Amino acid sequence: MKPFVAGARARYLVALELRDRDSQGVAFGLLRDAALLALSALEAVDSESLAEPRAPRVIWDRFMALERPGAPGSLAEARIVLGSDDLLAPDSVPANDASRLRSSAEESVAWLLSLAEVRSARELSRARVVRSSFLVVAAIAIMRAGLSYWFALAALAPH
């Protein structure tokens, strides 16, 4: 799963950098690949073995059949470009729809990447313990600083 997520994030970040009109098709192609890699990562979590490579439309149909809470409203619109079996679909996006579809695709890929958690249960547990420890240490430091301040004020007050 980790290689899928790493590949998807790399493609997504490069696509975000491509903002000029001439590279719009390349950015859509990278977003399409990032979405397919993210969906493959999500499928890898749900099954023990990786399925045989399938057409993008089949991958998207399987994913859309599942109910995912928090899905962006633009997911169905982004699927026009991201889920097409036509390899040249990203290049054929009309110029007047490109900016709207681009923002929908970026939002959808970002959401898909947020679903793919590459850390193991042990790593998540360790991160939770570390965060809790930092919170306890911070609370103790704040209480100690408050008590030190209060004792300093008490020592200055005339008796």
Tokens of 80: 């026009």
Are 10 and 63 in the same domain? yes
pLDDT for 135-157, tens place per residue?
A: 999 999 999 999 999 999 888 88
Task: Write out the residue range of the structural domain in which residue 133 sits.
Answer: 119-159
Q: Are residues 100 and 146 in the same domain?
A: no
Alpha carbon distance 105, 111 (integer Å): 10
Say if residue 87 is in the same domain as residue 151. no
Residue 1 has pLDDT above 80, yes or no: no
% of the chain exceeding 70 in pLDDT? 92
Whole-number Å distance between alpha carbons of 26 and 2? 24
**103 and 55 both lie in a single domain:** yes
24: CB partners within 8 A, 6+ apart:
18, 93, 98, 102
In a shared domain, residues 153 and 87: no
Same domain, 154 and 102: no
* Model pLDDT for residues 42-85, shown as the tens digit of each residue: 887 655 555 566 788 888 888 888 777 888 888 888 887 888 88
Residue 132 has pLDDT above 90, yes or no: yes
Band of residue 19 on the pLDDT scale cut at 50, 70, 90:
confident
pLDDT the model gives residue 87: 78
Higher pLDDT, 2 or 108: 108
Do 32 and 66 share a domain, yes or no? yes
pLDDT value of position 53: 64
pTM: 0.68
The average confidence (pLDDT) of the chain is 84
CB distance 28 to 108 below 8 Å: no
| pLDDT the model gives residue 116 | 80
Same domain, 104 and 124: no
Q: Which two tokens stand for residue 85?
A: 């079996």
Total structural domains within the chain: 2
Same-domain check for residues 21 and 77: yes
As a residue count, the chain comes to 159
What pLDDT shows up at residue 143?
Answer: 96
CATH number of the domain that residue 96 is part of: 1.20.120
8 and 80 fall within a common domain: yes
Q: Are residues 95 and 130 in the same domain?
A: no
